[in-house]
Amino acid sequence: MVIKLNSKMILEKEFKKQMKGYNIDEVDQFLDIIMEDYDNFQRMIEELQAENQRLKRELDNATKRPQTTQYLGNTNFDILKRLSNLEKHVFGSKLYD
């Protein structure tokens, strides 16, 4: 995708004047709004590109790290199993009455 205009090109654009043409001041005011929008769009594009690069780096770093979620699941299961065994040992059959 190629962007053909920038705010400087819009500012410097000259139009031929004719007898029954548009109001020059209105055209200039409208072009000022367009230039401001182009500048805002350019800033937004740059910010989004920077965020995109940052997120790509974070994703790349996350995929390089060892995955610990599997271990946490086993650890949590083991803890729950130990607690259950401990409760059975301490309280015996009272838990199930």
| pLDDT 10s digits, 42-84 | 999 999 999 999 999 998 888 887 665 555 556 788 888 888 8
Cβ partners under 8 Å of residue 31, min gap 6? 10, 11, 13
pTM of the model: 0.52
User: What are the percentages of helix, strand and coil residues in the chain, rounded to 5?
Assistant: 75, 0, 25
Evaluate if residue 26 carries a pLDDT over 80: yes
Domain ranges (residues) in the chain: 22-65, 67-97
